[in-house]
């Protein structure tokens, strides 16, 4: 009896986070064996040569002597006021007293769901989703209910189909805009329909807007909180993507809506924030200069910018492919190509991703990692240089061609 393995929580049984999962572990094994792996699995700007803007580094360095004690559990007053001011400029009724700074948006998503959910409560989550949302819902006793955002609708949901999923146990509606993994940017009319749905059913809106200024061509971001008005809305942002500072681990959330409806939730979040004392103080000094200083991302996403060129390289590679389709991403740092089932009817995204890693040394993520039923998609990040992505898609095309040939041989046999 004393030699039995230590049991782990049953809550983990349905939790997955393939972004750092089995394929990633296999990539580390291959690297340890001396093979060079092209990692397209994660949106980590610093790993691809992007640098934090100098004015953020300077702000953090100058504030080091003031970073050696805990701060308020909700975050530095200067940081919280800068976040509230940003949301007020966007048209929301934001207040620094209802802003929380966390160790990345990931921590704040977990705290929010812990504050909201009773066991068995349901959360409407897009499919495909950023898998942390489904995982955190389950870990906090809830049930993720996925609403379809298929390529046939440009990866946007149908509000009527979404409304049909609401039950008496539904507590919240997650909106990821711009979307990870698809790059979809939600139009204002769709956001208004989602707000109307939330108002009718008494749902809390959870607006993951971490990519709010990562936009391509003529795409326009519409923040959800100003559209929500009196409807309770938690808006999430941070330094990781727009400001290229993943390692700083600074995110924020702002509560907006009818004040009387938010008091208990604000107190619950304050309690949970207090239990971890505070978030990383040092990096919080970068929040105000990030939100009030020069725009770090526009030159990268606009014509002539590195991200703009990377996106074009992916779009062009898919257009030349015999096997792939794509809804061109309007925002965020990813593309979500699909494999034409007419060309590869037996395609399996997980098997493809493993073969691509083993044979071509490219690591990407199967689309089913993002909680969709279909298994004919995959996600790549747009962070590498355009030439690197062009080479990666040449390797992808070789792998798909091998699979097509093998499939044809099996049918003949």
DSSP 124-172: EEEES--THHHHHHHHTT-EEEEEE--GGGTT---HHHHHTT--TTEEE
Residues 6+ apart with CB under 8 A from 349: 339, 366, 367, 368, 375, 376, 377, 378
Report domain 10-51+299-412's class: alpha beta
| Mean pLDDT confidence for 158-180 | 98
Measured over the CA atoms of residue 199, residue 201, residue 204 and residue 208, the dihedral's sign is: negative
Q: Residues 6 or more apart from 324 whose CB is under 8 A from it?
A: 317, 318, 337, 338, 339, 340, 396, 397, 400
Compute the half-sphere exposure of residue 388: CA atoms within 13 Å on the CB side of its CA.
17
> Beta strands of 248-314 (E only): which ranges?
251-256
User: Which pairing describes strands 365-366 and 378-381: parallel, antiparallel, or unpaired?
Assistant: antiparallel
Return the C-alpha torsion angle 351, 355, 361, 362, nearest 10.
-40
Contact between 392 and 345 under an 8 Å Cβ cutoff? The reply is: no
What does the pLDDT read at residue 22?
A: 87
- Between residues 156 and 410, which one has the greater pLDDT? 156
Q: Are 378 and 403 in contact (CB under 8 A)?
A: no
pLDDT tens per residue, range 118-129: 999 999 999 999
pLDDT range class, residue 21, cuts 50, 70, 90: confident
Among the listed residues 249, 287, 282, the one whose alpha carbon sits nearest the alpha carbon of residue 104: 249
pLDDT of residue 1 exceeding 60: no
CB 307 within 8 A of CB 103: no
Residue spans per domain, the chain: 10-51+299-412, 54-292
SS3 (DSSP) at 109? helix
122 backbone dihedrals φ, ψ, rounded to 5°: -105, 145
Q: 50-96, pLDDT tens digit by residue?
A: 999 999 999 999 999 999 999 999 999 999 999 999 999 999 999 99
Question: 412 falls in which pLDDT band (50, 70, 90)?
Answer: low
Measured between alpha carbons, how far is residue 287 from residues 49, 69, 76, 239 in Å?
Answer: 22, 18, 9, 7
Nearest to 179 by CA among 146, 162, 155, 196: 155
| Assigned architecture for domain 54-292 | 3-Layer(aba) Sandwich (3.40)
How many Cα atoms occupy the beta-carbon half-sphere of 223 within 13 Å?
22
Q: Within 10 Å of residue 263's Cβ, how many Cβ atoms?
A: 11
Q: Give the model's pLDDT for residue 4.
A: 86
- Is the pLDDT confidence value at 407 over 80? no
CA distance 40 to 28: 14
**How many residues are recorded in the chain?**
413
User: pLDDT for 243-290, tens place per residue?
Assistant: 999 999 999 999 999 988 999 999 999 999 999 999 999 999 999 999
Q: How open is the CA angle 375-166-272, to the nearest 5 degrees?
A: 90
Question: pLDDT of 362-401, one tens digit each?
Answer: 999 999 999 999 999 999 999 999 999 999 999 999 999 9
| pLDDT range class, residue 411, cuts 50, 70, 90 | low
Q: What average pLDDT is seen over the chain?
A: 95
β-pairing, 170-176 vs 143-148, is unpaired
């Amino acid at each position: 009896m004393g030699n039995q393995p230590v049991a782990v929580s049953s809550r983990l049984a349905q939790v997955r986070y393939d972004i750092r999962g089995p394929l990633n572990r296999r990539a580390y094994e291959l690297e340890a064996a001396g093979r060079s792996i092209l990692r397209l699995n994660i949106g980590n700007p610093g790993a691809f040569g992007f640098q934090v803007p100098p004015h953020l580094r300077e702000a953090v360095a100058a504030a080091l002597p003031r970073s050696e004690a805990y701060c308020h559990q909700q975050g530095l007053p200067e940081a919280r006021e800068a976040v509230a001011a940003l949301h007020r400029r966007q048209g929301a009724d934001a207040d620094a007293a209802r802003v929380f700074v966390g160790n990345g948006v990931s921590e704040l998503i977990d705290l929010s769901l812990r504050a909201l959910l009773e066991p068995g409560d349901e959360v409407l989550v897009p499919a495909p989703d950023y898998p942390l949302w489904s995982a955190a819902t389950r870990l906090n006793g809830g049930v993720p209910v996925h609403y379809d955002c298929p390529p046939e609708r440009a990866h946007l949901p149908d509000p009527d189909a979404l409304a049909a999923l609401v039950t008496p146990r539904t507590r919240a509606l997650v909106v990821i805009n711009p979307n990870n993994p698809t790059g979809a940017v939600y139009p204002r009319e769709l956001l208004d329909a989602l707000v109307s749905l939330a108002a009718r059913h008494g749902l809390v809106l959870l607006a993951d807007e971490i990519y709010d200024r990562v936009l391509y061509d003529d795409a326009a971001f519409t923040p959800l909180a100003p559209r929500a008005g009196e409807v309770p809305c938690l808006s999430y942002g941070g330094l990781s993507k727009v400001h290229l500072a993943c390692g700083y681990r600074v995110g924020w959330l702002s509560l907006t809506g009818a004040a009387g409806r938010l008091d208990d939730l604000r107190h619950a979040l304050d309690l949970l924030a207090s239990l971890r004392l505070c978030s990383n103080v040092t990096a919080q000094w970068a929040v105000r200069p990030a939100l009030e200083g020069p725009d770090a991302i526009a030159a990268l996403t606009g014509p002539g910018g590195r991200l703009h060129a990377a996106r074009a390289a992916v779009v062009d590679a898919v257009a030349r492919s015999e096997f792939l389709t794509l809804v061109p991403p309007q925002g965020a740092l990813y593309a979500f190509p699909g494999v034409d089932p007419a060309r590869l009817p037996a395609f399996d995204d997980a098997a493809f991703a493993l073969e691509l890693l083993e044979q071509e040394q490219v690591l990407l993520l199967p689309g089913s990692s993002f909680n969709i039923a279909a298994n004919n998609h995959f996600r790549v990040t747009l962070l590498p240089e355009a030439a690197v992505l062009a080479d990666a898609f040449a390797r992808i095309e070789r792998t798909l061609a091998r699979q097509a040939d093998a499939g044809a041989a099996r049918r003949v046999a």
